[in-house]
Amino acid sequence: MKVLKILLLCMALTACEEQYRYFCQNPDNFYREQCQKPRCQFTQTCPEYLVAPVLEKQIEQTRPASEPTPVR
C-alpha cells in the first residue's frame, strides 16, 4: 500500500509540469526560426495565431517609451 501511495505521488508530480501543445505556443520560442513567418504560416503555428494576447503583452513590455501605443 505504501508503494502504491509513493507511485501515485510521483505520477501526480510529473503531470504538473508546464507543457504546450505546439512548439510556438511557448513564449520562450516566439523568436525561434520555426516560429517566424513564412515558415510557420503553412502549419498555422505562428505565435500570433496561437497565443495572441500573450504575444501582445510581450510586445508592449519591450516597446520603447517614445513609441505610441496603438489604439483599437
**pLDDT tens track for 13-34:** 766 667 888 899 888 998 999 9
- The pTM score is 0.47
What is the predicted pLDDT for the residue at 57?
A: 60
* SS percent in the chain: helix, strand, coil, step 5: 50, 0, 50
Burial class (CB in 10 A: 0-12, 13-18, 19+), 35: buried
